[in-house]
Amino acid sequence: MTFFVRSHNGTVPGVTSTVMGMTTSASVPAGPDSAIARRGTVTDRLVEANEHYAAAFTDPGMDARPVLHVAVVACMDARLDLHAALGLELGDCHTIRNAGGVVTDDVIRSLTISQRKLGTRSIVLIHHTGCGLESLTEDFRTELELEVGQRPAWAVESFRDVDQDVRQSMQRVRTSPFLLHTDDVRGFVFDVRTGLLREIDPA
């Protein structure tokens, strides 16, 4: 498993980018005194990677308010590197991610706090090709109920048409009574094969 830590200025034109590669699986100490060698879990490796990161970390002195006053709602899919794909730096935006990148009540909660308390004005919604939710149905909730004896209160939010689901998410944002700024809401589908965004017409 390989982790990459991108420098703060990695996407600014004219500024040299520093990318540090960290191959945690190969760098795990093998000595008998190593806790990671004894446990060897993925989380242990992440903690070790953080120690390397913290050793070179400098407090950027940023405010909690995003520099670009934008919130990005996207799928949790591991293939989406939002900062790299959108040319963003640390501190530029709020990122809100869930399965499918759909606008649920909890996403509205986060967006409301983002706008009303932390100054964001624009909202970008990003779904992607080949999403796992396209292979699910609401039957998943029934399967869970049969397995654990309790039906989930949440909806799966599965879909078949990714473009239409982006439109639905845009509509949910634009009609929310809790959001102050709904003039600049745009939706996209990210192509996991090409890395390109395709904008979705809300109509």
What does the alpha-carbon distance between residue 54 and residue 51 come to, in Å, rounded to a whole number?
5
Predicted TM-score (pTM) of the model is 0.79
Say which residue, 32 or 74, is predicted with more confidence: 74
Q: What's the CA gap between 16 and 18, in Å, rounded?
A: 7
Residue 203: pLDDT band with limits 50, 70, 90: confident
Q: Kindly state the average pLDDT of the residues 54-61.
A: 94
Cβ atoms 179, 192 nearer than 8 A: no
Mean pLDDT within 117-132: 97
* The pLDDT value given to residue 73: 98
CA max distance for the chain: 62
User: Is the pLDDT higher at 202 or at 118?
Assistant: 118
CB 200 within 8 A of CB 166: yes
Cβ–Cβ < 8 Å for 120, 42: no
Least confident of 4-13, 32-41, 137-146: 4-13
Is residue 173 pLDDT above 90, yes or no? yes
